[in-house]
Every structure is written in C-alpha cells, then in structure tokens.
Structure 1
Amino acid sequence: MCTVIYGCAANSGVVSMGQDNFMVSRQAATGFSGSGNLKADAFREANQYCTDQMKDMKVISAHEGEPPFLLGNSPKAEVQFKCVQRN
C-alpha cells in the first residue's frame, strides 16, 4: 500500500507510442535512490521486449529526472525505443 508521505514507485511497462515506437518509464518512490538504476532497468525491459520479438532495440531517446529530488520530484527515467529487424 502506498502512502501520501512516502509515495509509490511507478513502472509503466512497455507502452506503444504509435508508428512502432514504444516507451518504458520508471519512477522511484522516494528521492533516496538515484535515477541511474531506474534508467538501467528501463533499458533492460525495453531490450527484453524487443528480444522476445526476435528483434534488436533501437533507442530513440532516453531521459532522466533532475535533482533536487524533493516533494514529488522523485528520481525517474524514460526510454523511447523501437524494435528493428536483426541484421
């Protein structure tokens, strides 16, 4: 259960953005963790999604939240990608 004081960690899963583009986002529950691990987790999920389709991941863009991580601005990361045919 999430509380207002501590917040909730949020993981979007793979979300279609149309035209064969996808997005994965991660957000920490608190500001006590950096966004580096969140970004790595998002990349792993995106890569696994494409691997499951026997394709390679092509990164369109990647973003991380910026400190200070206070009052609702928790660490976050987002990866936009597409799955392309293997060579």
Structure 2
Amino acid sequence: MLKKRITIISFGLAMLAACASDTGVVPVGQEQFIIEKQQATGFPGLGNLRAEVYVEANEFCAMQGGSLETVRFEQTDPPYILGNYPRVSLTFSCN
C-alpha cells in the first residue's frame, strides 16, 4: 500500500514539474502584446516553448483579423539550474 502511494505521489509531482507557466496575451503598449512561458523546472529544456508562444500569438492575431509581426523574441540560455528555468518571451503586434 505504501509503495502504491509513493508511486502515485511521484507521478503527480512529475506531472506538475512538466507544466509550464503561461501569462497568456498581455497588452504592453501601443498595439503591442507580450506572451511569456516558463517551464516549472530545468529538466524539459526549452522544449516546445518557442512554438507554443508563436502558435498562441498567431491565434490571437487571427481572432483580431490581422497577422503576427514579431517585435522581439527572447529566451533563457542554459544551464537551467538554480532558478534559471527555460523561459521564452515574445513581444508582437497584429497587422
């Protein structure tokens, strides 16, 4: 029974560690927006974070009737330890 509980808790913690935080689309000025995503740990690396922010930005611009124009893209560099977790930031506008 204890072994089963440990397995379930370990699986739950692993699932939480794989999750990324996401700001969603945030207005930051004159018709400019930003999306930031960060992994919960350094283990997954950047993974698909770059693709995820571009997909979200493209969907947002399509709903606004425009197309995505990248203003700035930034990402963290390894090593991903001591709080330097994989993170990307996309500043964009919709034209």
Q: TM-score category by the smaller chain?
A: 0.7 to 0.9
How many angstroms does 1:39 deviate by?
1.1
How many angstroms does 1:36 deviate by?
4.4
Question: Identity of aligned pairs, percent?
Answer: 39
Contact 2:76 2:86 in 1 (8 A): yes
Instruction: Specify the alignment match of 2:35 in structure 1.
Output: 24
Equivalent position amino acid for 1:53 in 2? Q
Instruction: Specify the alignment match of 1:67 in structure 2.
Output: 78
Instruction: Specify the alignment match of 1:34 in structure 2.
Output: 45
Q: 2:86, 2:65 → 1: CA distance? A: 31
Q: 1:64, 1:80 → 2: CA distance? A: 12
Aligned length: 81
TM-score (norm 1): 0.84
Instruction: Specify the alignment match of 1:50 in structure 2.
Output: 61
1:13 and 2:24 matched: yes
- Richer in strand (by share): 1
Q: Deviations over 1:11-42 (max 9, x none)?
A: 00001001000000100011111224111101
Bigger Cα Rg: 2
